[in-house]
Amino acid sequence: MVSSFPRLTTVAPQLAASFLKAGNAKQIEAARAASAVAVSRAGLAQDFVAAALEHQGSVTSFALLRGQIEALARQLDSEYLELSESEDERAEEAALRAFSKARAAAALAYALSRKSADLIEAVYEAMAALDDPAEVIEAVDSALR
């Protein structure tokens, strides 16, 4: 469930304000642009991820795709948590990769919605997927223009 207080306002208040002022079509475009950047940089390469990015299929297939992507995000979150509890030094890097992929998957799942509250979460999750969110911010700014 998405909070009524968007998390994006805590990390990028100006971007959040611009996003919230935009119409729904621009919000959808911005959320999808943000998630595309995150997916690409995180290295998610599953066929259903590519299909979601390409906006293929009917509304029903989008619901199926969103379910698959949400399941992938949960799986990657679990992988991240397991790896982050490991004493193995090499597990730390793998944990960070899993975290980034989980955030990118979550961003894409949110971006498949038409609800403003979900779309702004897509931007937040996309930013969280990257060490440096500048590319996501640029993509969102561009889409909102």
Dump pLDDT digits (tens) for 47-102.
999 988 886 455 667 788 899 999 999 999 999 999 999 888 889 999 999 999 99
What is d(CA 45, CA 58) in angstroms, rounded to the nearest whole number? 21
Q: How confident is the model at residue 115 (pLDDT cuts 50, 70, 90)?
A: very high
Q: How confident is the model at residue 3 (pLDDT cuts 50, 70, 90)?
A: low
Q: How confident is the model at residue 4 (pLDDT cuts 50, 70, 90)?
A: low
The tens digit of pLDDT for each residue in 54-67 reads: 864 556 677 888 99
The pLDDT, as a whole number, for residue 117 is 95
Percent above pLDDT 90 for the chain: 79
- Comparing CA positions, the residue from 118, 93, 104 lying closest to residue 28 is 118
Cα 92 to chain centroid distance, Å, stands at 22
> Side chain identity at 80, as an amino acid letter?
Y
Tell me the three-class secondary structure of the chain, residue by residue: CCCCCCCHHHHCHHHHHHHHHCCHHHHHHHHHHHHHHHHHHHCCCCHHHHHHHCCCCCHHHHHHHHHHHHHHHHHHHHHHHHHHCCCCHHHHHHHHHHHHHHHHHHHHHHHCCCCHHHHHHHHHHHHHCCCCCHHHHHHHHHHHC
The pLDDT, as a whole number, for residue 1 is 46
What is d(CA 52, CA 57) in angstroms, rounded to the nearest whole number? 9
